[in-house]
Amino acid sequence: MFGDIDFMQKSKDIGFKISNMDLHIDPFDDFYNYACGTWIKRSKIPKDSPIISSFYELRDNTYKKLKLILLSCIKEPSKFKNGKLLADFYQSYIDMKTRDRLKFSPIKYIIERIDALKGKDELPKLIAFLMLNAVNTFIRFDPSPDEKNSSVYALHIHQGGLSLPEKSYYIEDLLKKVRLSLRENIIRMFRLYGFSIAEAQRAADTVIRIETKIAMISRSKGELRDVLKNYNKMSTDEFRKRFAYLHLDELLNDIVPKLPDYLIVGQPEFLSGLGKIIEEENIDDIKLYLKWHVLRSTANLLHEKAANTLFLFFGRQLTGQKKMKPMWYRATNFIINTIGNALSELYVEKYFDKSAEAKAVKLVNNVRKAFRKRLSRVSWMSQSTKNKALEKFDAMSVKIGYPAEFKDYSSIKSSKNDLLGNYVKAYQFELKRTMNRVGKRVDKKEWYMEAFTVNAYYNASMNEIVLPAGIFQPPFFDPNLDDAINYGGIGGIIGHELTHGFDDQGSKYDKYGNLREWWETDDRQKFNEKAKDIENLYSSLEVLPGINVNGKLTLGENIADLGGIHIAYDALHYALKGKNPRIDGFTEEQRFFIAWAQIWKEKSTAKAKELMAKIDPHSPARFRGLIPVITHSDFERVFKEKSKLAAPKFRYSDVNLW
């Protein structure tokens, strides 16, 4: 009961509010805290989260709705589509009594298979077996549209094999404490599994040694953004010759129905380097490495002690989260990550407000109109490139709400007391579904996010933006509030996604979603210079003492934020039709910028900040709320009456990319 009251108060608190602002602060001095300072002072990071933010609060509300759906499925499974499947998955997760009784026995068959490995020749077959059992080790397969022939699915192969979030964690001095803490965690896990102290220590040292070698041949997160460098098409024959140690036919035999004619290798130098590492390492050490990855991938689904042990490092140490989420939340999260589409289908039926859709469509159209106008007026670009850019823009499609079709999960035979079995079956379902389509025509109707997800994306291969139902909620979208709030919220998000089609990577794809240079050389040169200014601006921002924003890693997102807010601001003026009324003492133009900053209100632990600075392609929320606003060409004029100071110096109009 208490929980329900809390839920009601929270949902009211999520939307745009003047009372979130700190009016003691001068907008020209610190706009972010001017717009959300009181919220930040008032908010506490929950013990079971590394963060509190608009996204967090909305997601929390969504999970509570999803839980109600799942509880209904348990009560009357036959009443709902996939009702038994959802109920079984949920019940098997929360049944800690069974999980505690089984301890490590659900993964016994996997560990035995590793123990049975006799020679390195058999390794590819074992890698495939592990993959079929939801354990990814050295490499990762990705059956997705061929970047240079976007109407056909191709099999991509990428670097993998690390426990830590990124290459730099194995190399930088600053992160040594994290490596030591991982070592502790591996020891703890193997001890729990039944190893002696000496055996567990040896296992941990072995895993870290092998992973450090893998890290040395891996590309960093920043380097991985380069889509052209990740595209290395190779015939199956050539792959067999270049990477003989992977025995391609055996590796893929149980995974794809038919060997494809070609593969796209993301990082060829990684595969070469991996061959050397496997050659150098002895087979017993490789087995220890593989066993750790089995434990790491499954501990959350085993007994409580195993799950808690994993959390000590991957939750507490890496993100600063103090305690685990409650059981119902973790169970819901498990379902989202396995059979989430079944949940989407029921969510849409119960919660999606169709009447809001018409308002959303109008908003999207205004933002599109504004972008087209900006694009046609860009002064630094030649007419011929601009014409092609406009063609690409006109060809860009928009998906709103939820997919026309949901996945058919009827082939999964679930059980309410076999959690790991359910997990592996769901994993195999997805693996089979995606692997079977290699070489076939791309399904343009597919969605890569669930309907309830509080997010949106641009898909370069399909040249489309996708806006799930989940993002059409306050503070992003509120049909009861004025235009400024909606244009500063969801309008900015839509502008952001549209701009991705023209950011440093998205702009390399043509209107059909094919990776192909369609720009005049001169224009590309000018674009790169402008992008460099943006990179430098963000690289100068400090996240924590000694850690700055990685301007290269976040470049695409920063371009999208800067473009997005300009486009949404223009679109707001279409809606205002020359008026600029005051509400609660602020003009619509002022409320627009405040609303944008408020969607990025956030408070997080220092550990989470450090982690995100290393791996997140987005800048920290406080800079997302701040920089696009204070660099906006109209910012000074709009807020002059509220300030006693001089306006901030950097102007986006000096760059004016989009």
What DSSP string describes 226-261? -TTTT--EEEHHHHHHHTGGG-HHHHHHTT-SS--S
- Cβ(534)–Cβ(559) under 8 Å? yes
CB of 362 to Zn ion, least distance (A): 23
Q: Which stretch binds Zn ion (CB under 5 A): 101-109, 323-331, 503-511, 555-563?
A: 555-563
- Cα-based angle 350, 354, 358 (whole degrees, multiple of 5): 165
CB of 177 to Zn ion, least distance (A): 31
- Segment 557-576, which members bind Zn ion (CB under 5 A)? 557, 560
In angstroms, the CA 219 to CA 266 distance is 10
For Zn ion, the closer CB: 86 or 560? 560
Task: Enumerate residues 290-309 that contact Zn ion by CB under 5 A.
Answer: none
**In the complex, minimum distance from the CB of residue 459 to Zn ion, in angstroms, rounded to a whole number:** 11
Would you say 308 or 505 has its CB closer to Zn ion?
Answer: 505
Min dist CB 566 to Zn ion, Å, is 15
When the beta carbons of 163 and 550 are compared against Zn ion, the nearer one is 550
Instruction: Tell which residue, 187, 642, 106, has the closest CA to residue 418.
Output: 106
- The residue among 292 and 487 lying less far from Zn ion, judged by its C-beta, is 487
Cβ proximity to Zn ion, 130 vs 465, nearer residue:
465
Residue 345 or 557: which CB sits closer to Zn ion?
557
Query: What distances in angstroms separate CA 42 from CA 30, 45, 509, one per listed residue?
Result: 18, 10, 44
Residue 267 or 554 with smaller CB distance to Zn ion:
554
Contact by Cβ (8 Å): 453, 468 = yes
**Shortest reach from residue 156's CB to Zn ion, in Å:** 21
388 within 8 A of 518, measured Cβ to Cβ:
yes
Q: Bridge partners of 263?
A: 234
Q: How many Å separate Cα 199 from the centre of its chain?
A: 37
Give counts: helices (H), strands (E), the chain.
28, 13
- With H, G, I as helix, E, B as strand and everything else as coil, classify residue 398: strand
Closest to 22 (Cα-Cα) out of 13, 35, 8: 35
Q: Which is nearer to Zn ion, 399 or 437 (CB)?
A: 399
Q: How far is the CB of 535 from Zn ion (least distance, A)?
A: 16
For Zn ion, the closer of residues 266 and 564 by Cβ is: 564
Least distance (Å) from Zn ion to the CB of residue 54?
A: 16
Total site size for Zn ion, rule CB under 5 A: 2
Per residue, what are the HEC states of 501-520?
Answer: CCCCCHHHECCCCCECCCCC
To Zn ion, the closest distance from the beta carbon of 553 in angstroms equals 13
Kindly tell me which of 557 and 610 has the beta carbon lying closer to Zn ion.
Answer: 557
- How is residue 467 annotated by DSSP? E
Could you tell me which stretch among 55-63, 72-80, 551-559, 648-656 binds Zn ion (CB under 5 A)? 551-559
> Which CB sits closer to Zn ion, 210 or 449?
449
Quick note: the x/- pattern for Zn ion over 511-550, rule CB under 5 A, is ----------------------------------------
CB of 455 to Zn ion, least distance (A): 9
Q: Are 211 and 162 in contact (CB under 8 A)?
A: yes
Select from 140-148, 290-298, 378-386, 554-562 the region that touches Zn ion (CB under 5 A): 554-562
Q: Closest approach of Cβ 228 to Zn ion, in Å?
A: 19
Q: Is 110 within 8 Å of 127 (Cβ atoms)?
A: no
Q: In angstroms, how far apart are the furthest CA atoms of the chain?
A: 77
> Is 577 in a helix, a strand, or coil?
coil
CB 332 within 8 A of CB 63: yes
Burial 38-69 (b: 16+ CB within 10 A, else e): bbbeebebeeebbbbbbbbbbbbbbbbbbbeb
CB of 504 to Zn ion, least distance (A): 12
Residues that bind Zn ion (CB under 5 A): 557, 560
